[in-house]
Copies of this chain bind each other. A is one copy, B any other.
Amino acid sequence: MNSSDKIKVMIVDDHDMVRIGLRTYLMLEPRLDIIAEAGNGKEALQWLEARKEEEHPDIILMDMMMPEMDGIEATRSVMAKFPAIKIVMLTSFLEDDKVYAAIEAGAVSYVLKTVSAEELIYAINGAFKGMPVMTADVSQALTRGLRQRTAQSGDEDLTEREKEVLLLIADGLSNKEIAEELHISIKTVKTHVSNLLMKCEMEDRTQLAVLAHRKGWAKRA
């Protein structure tokens, strides 16, 4: 533990030009050292797994929207395997539920891509000390996201099957289509849907779909 050591940073973003921009940003702060880059979450994980923990970065600048494996999922995986790494989530947009999802996944900070170099460096320094740095708009989005979370009790007490059904509902499938997709009776689907409605305190499948999308559970394709 040498306090004079540089902060090792890894950049994960699918856009080459953004990575270049970030590199230029971080070159302004001599204490920062960019030791690795990756084009998506999968690449980042593979890079980390192929190396010893001593070679790992202190900070990962993680883009939210990426092909293969997005920032949320990648953050979850990285935190599960290498909890020592601090992750700063980078994004272009401010979506309440995404902010919450990022924090829940284990990200220390959540930074908009509109930041200046100084702000980003400040956020990285803060993250290195384990201190989340939030701009006003982000923290507002977070509280809104939290309100949504705490509002409905049924968070993760859904069974695996129920989660499957919920995702299909969030994809716009009817009960019949879900039954065919899962190779079960339409009656069983109805049972799951009823349980979902009860647990999530929703009134119909449309509200379930909305819920899933707001929480970021639904697939984007």
Contact = CB atoms under 8 A, between A and B. Distances in A.
Contacts of A214: 213, 220
A114 B207 contact: no
Interface residues of A, number: 43
Interface string A178-214: 0000000000000000000000001111110111011
A92 interface: yes
A171 B92 CA distance: 23
Contacts of A25: 17, 20
Interface in A134-188: 144, 169-172, 174
A113 B17 contact: yes
A115 B92 CA distance: 18
Centre residue among A21, A93, A170 by max chain B CB count within 10 A: A21
Contact of A213 (B17, B19, B218): B218
A73 interface: no
B207 A15 contact: no
A14 interface: yes
Contacts of A21: 15-22, 24
Q: How many copies of the polypeptide does the oligomer hold?
A: 2
Contacts of A220: 95-97, 144, 214
A65 interface: yes
A115 B170 CA distance: 31
Contacts of A3: none
Interface string A88-127: 0000110111000000000000000111110010000000
Given A15-B114, A171-B210, 16 more contacts: A15-B92, A16-B115, A16-B116, A17-B115, A18-B21, A18-B113, A21-B21, A65-B93, A92-B92, A96-B221, A172-B206, A172-B207, A206-B209, A209-B209, A209-B210, A210-B213
